[in-house]
Every structure is written in C-alpha cells, then in structure tokens.
Amino acid sequence: MAHKHSISRRHFLQMSALTGVGLTAFAMNSRLAFAQTAAPNPLPAAPAPGPIDLKAAGGMDALIEAAKKEAALSTIALPDDWANYGQMKKEFLAKYTFLKHNDLNPDGSSGDEVEAIKANAGNKGPQNPDVIDVGFIWGQLAKGQSLLQPYKVATWDTIPDALKDKDGYYYGNYYGTMAFEVNTAAVKNVPQDWSDLLKPEYKGQIAISGDPTSASQAIHAVWASSIGNGSAVDDAMPGLEFFKKLAESGNLVPVVASPAGVAKGETPIALRWDYNALSNRDANKDTVEIAVVYPKSGSIAGVYLNGISAYAPRPYAARLWQEYVYSDAGQLTFLNGYAKPVRFDDLQKRAVIPAELAAKLPKADIKVAFPTVEQISKVLDAIKTGWPSIVGVKFNK
C-alpha cells in the first residue's frame, strides 16, 4: 500500500471535518452517557396517584369515560393458560371494546414485572405496564420501593384481611398449592412425595418453572420442598439442600418447565401450581395423560397479588381491569381455571358458585402451609441469595 505523502488540501479539509464531527460526537456521547449514569438509579417522581376507590372516581360510568380517553391497557406476564387468564382477558376486552390490549411478556416472572415498572418509569409507551400480577412476596417489595399506587375495588370488604394490604396498594386475587405435574405416559411410577423425586429413575426428568431468583412459582417450588422435608415455615435451607441434591444427581434439568414440555414428555415431571397443572391436564386430555399429585409430606400455598403501577400511563384503564377481576364474574373465571379466587368464601356464602364447577375442584388433603408476610421476605432473601451459589453453579456442566 503506497502511502501518499502529500495529501491534497481537499482531502485534508474533508478529514478534519470528519474528525471534527467524530470528536464532537465523542464528547456528546460521553456527556450524554455520563449524564445518564450520574443519576442512574433514582426513578423519576411518580405522577399523582389516581382515585382511591370507585366513589372517589365518581362512579363506574366516570371510570369508563376516563378509560375511554386512555384507550389502551398494558398488562404483563399473564399467560393465557395461567389461572384462566386467557378467558379473563378475552371477556374483559369483549366488555370494554374501546381498549387496545398490550399483552407484555406473557412468560415473564414476577421479578420481570417489577423490573419492567422500574425500567419503564417515566415512559408513556405501551411497554410500560399498568397493572401487575405478582407473587405474594413481591407486593411488599414493590410497595416498599414506591412502585404501586393504591386502589380499593368495589368488593374490597369481601377480601380476607390477611390477603390484602390495608392501604390498598396490593391485594391477593387467587392462590394455589404447589404440586407435581406428571406425564404418566412418560413416567411409569408416578412420584408421590418429595423424597421420591431423588430416585435415580427420574434422572433428567424434573424441571421447575423458571429461575428461583425471580420467578415466584420457582421460588415456591424450592420452599415447598423445604416444608416437605419437615422444616419450619420460615426455613428455606432444607429446600436449597434438596435442590442441590436434585441438580447434582442430574434429576433436575435446567430447563423451564412449560405446559408443552410436560405434555410432550420432554420434562415429564414439573413442579407447578396445581391450577396450572390441572389446566394443562384438561387442555391436553385428548393427546396425553397428565396426573396432578399433591406431595404427601406437605406443600405450600402461594397467593398472587394484583397491583396498579405508580407510573401507570393509563391509570383509569388499570382501575377498570381491577374492578373486573374482583367482580363475581372475574373471580369465577379464576375458579374455572382451578385457581382459588381470594373471594372464594364470600362467593360460597352467597351461593354463586355453579354446582358442576364446585364438583370438579380437586381435593388436597395434605399439610399446606400459608406463610405470613414476614416469613415470606425472610425466605425470599434466603433463596435469592442461596440459589446461585448453592444450586445454580451445579448446572455448569
């Protein structure tokens, strides 16, 4: 490559122009990048929260009018086959046809949802979720980080006190029990208890539904195994040890247990909520046999919470959604998906549950623990920090 020793004036000018642009861009970049870094974590101030209940909103019609102006709703992490959310979404949208639905990240975890609020705070776009449905643990967390705004639905008084935040920031909507979902075509001896899972015949067959550092369902799988191994409710160590053994023996595979995975037989034993397992069983009853087993030594119940994001760009549409979910119709939709709605006792008292629906509900006569909020945060921390170092590294080969 011969080097030109004399650069023409034109070339020189062009090069300096480009260098000039480049340097300005460099400087701009650094300043912009550092500017964003200088305040990376403090979230922008949340907008003023909306009305606290229907009365403050001026009644249902006023709510609908306000929602019409927003014309959209962003939900997050609501898979169609989870607690019958598919039907819930369909019925809600059929009722309020003026709302465009943004179904964000259906396979997201509770951790994903909280992160999404933080990451999108201040954005008005459709990827900013308006409502979240998270595991019980995360409600307290989100409230503590000022990520929620309070709203008390019309049926507020019929929600049990233990399952709601007294200020209305979050409240339970349904719960289930951790169970084994087993593909009986692929697994001849259906495991009945936690200790069975360690048997060598189940090598490479067991999966949990996500990452226990962020997915509520996966965290509870670990927790339930703790209870099943005889520990106190707030002790997660036996569970972590149990999963360490599962990973080491190769029984546990690092795959996310999915409905299709079980039905196909790829991960024939999955640790999932009983309502998910039961819906999957029904959905695939023509092609495969799925058994739902409640482990004999005990399990845990997991409550899921609803909350409205403090940064929701469409707060009135969010309130409309909440009202629907907590109405009789909404709660019965959950029950149809085998998820025990939080207003179950109230529905039963008023005898609004159809007979055939009541008949198909499963009976689980095992010891089921219902943890308190303090126990939850203690265990959450233990599993979040313990999992990567105790179990997670076992998957490296």
Partner 1 sequence: MAQTIDIASAPLLGVRRSRPPRPILRLSLTLLGVLPFFIFVLAFQFFPAFSIVTRTFARNSDGTFTLDNIISLNTPLIIGAYVTTTQISLITSILGGAIGFVLACAITIGGLPAWIKGGILSFSGVASNFAGVPLVFAFTSTLGRLGVLTDFLKTAGINLYPNFTLYGFWGLCIVYLYFQIPLMVLILVPAIDSLKKEWREASENLGGTRFHYWRYVALPILFPSIVGTVALLFGNAFGTQATAYALVGGGAGQNMVVTLLVTAQFSTDSLANPGLGNALAFGMIVVMAFTILIYTYCRRISMRWLAR
Partner 2 sequence: MIHRQSLWSWLCLAFILLYFFVPLYATFQFSLQAKRGQLGFTAYQNIFSAPDFSNSFLFSFQTALLTIAISMVLIIPTAYWVNLKLTWLRPIVEFLTLIPFVIPAVIVAFGLIRAYNRTLLTDSGEGVYVLLVGAYVSLSFPYMYRAVDTGLQAINVRTLTEAAQSLGASWIAILVRVIFPNIFRAVLTGAFITFAIAMGEFTIASLLSQPAFGPYMAATAARKVYEPSALAIVSFGLTWLCIAGVQILTRRNRGGRVPTALIR
Is 386 near partner 1 (CB under 8 A)? no
Nearer to partner 2, 242 or 311 (CB): 311
Q: Give the three-state DSSP class for 271.
A: strand
Nearer to partner 1, 44 or 354 (CB): 44
Residues 276, 230 contacting (CB under 8 angstroms): no
Q: How many CA atoms lie within 13 A of 238 on its CB side?
A: 15
Concatenated DSSP letters of 366-384: S-EE---HHHHHHHHHHHH
Q: How far is the CB of 77 from partner 2 (least distance, A)?
A: 11
Chosen from partner 1, partner 2, none, partner binding at 47 (C-beta under 5 to 8 Å by type):
none
Nearer to partner 2, 107 or 201 (CB): 107
Quick one: which of 63, 73, 99, 116 contacts partner 1 (CB under 8 A)? 116
Q: Report the C-alpha gap between 90 and 262 in whole angstroms.
A: 26
Q: How far is the CB of 359 from partner 1 (least distance, A)?
A: 34
Nearer to partner 2, 121 or 347 (CB): 121
Q: Give the three-state DSSP class for 56.
A: helix
Burial 233-272 (b: 16+ CB within 10 A, else e): bbbbebbbbbbbebbebebbbeebbbbebbbeebbbbbbb
Integer angstrom CA distances of residue 385 from 220, 380, 381: 15, 9, 6
Is 45 near partner 1 (CB under 8 A)? no
Tell which residue, 210, 217, 215, 127, has the closest CA to residue 175: 217
Residues within the interface to partner 2 (CB under 8 A): 11, 14, 33, 36, 44, 79-81, 102, 104-107, 119-127, 256, 258-261, 263-264, 284, 286-287
Chosen from partner 2, partner 1, none, partner binding at 391 (C-beta under 5 to 8 Å by type):
partner 1
User: Which residue has tokens 């300005």?
Assistant: 24
User: Which residue has tokens 């919470």?
Assistant: 305
Chosen from partner 2, partner 1, none, partner binding at 56 (C-beta under 5 to 8 Å by type):
none
Residues 67, 50 contacting (CB under 8 angstroms): no
Residues 164, 334 contacting (CB under 8 angstroms): no
Q: Looking only at residues 171 through 200 of this chain, which bind partner 1 when binding is defined by CB under 8 A?
A: 186
Is 56 near partner 1 (CB under 8 A)? no
Number of H helices, E strands in the chain: 15, 11
Quick one: which of 47, 254, 354, 362 contacts partner 1 (CB under 8 A)? 254
How far is residue 334 CA from its own chain's centroid?
Answer: 16
Chosen from partner 1, partner 2, none, partner binding at 71 (C-beta under 5 to 8 Å by type):
none
Backbone angles phi, psi at 316, to 5 degrees: -75, -40
H or E segment to which residue 291 belongs: strand 290-293
Q: How far is the CB of 175 from partner 1 (least distance, A)?
A: 23
Residues in contact with 319: Cβ distance below 8 Å, sequence separation at least 6, in sequence order: 50, 51, 57, 63, 67, 151, 308
Quick one: which of 177, 214, 216, 280 contacts partner 1 (CB under 8 A)? 214
**Contact window for partner 1 (CB under 8 A) among 79-87, 131-139, 207-215, 313-321:** 207-215
Site track 57-96 with partner 1 (rule: CB under 8 A), x = hit: ----------------------------------------
Is 30 near partner 1 (CB under 8 A)? yes
Binding stretches for partner 1 (CB under 8 A): 9-10, 13-14, 17-18, 21, 25, 29-30, 32-34, 36-41, 105, 107-109, 111-112, 115-116, 186, 203-205, 207-211, 213-215, 218, 247, 250, 253-256, 264-268, 384, 388-389, 391-393, 395-397
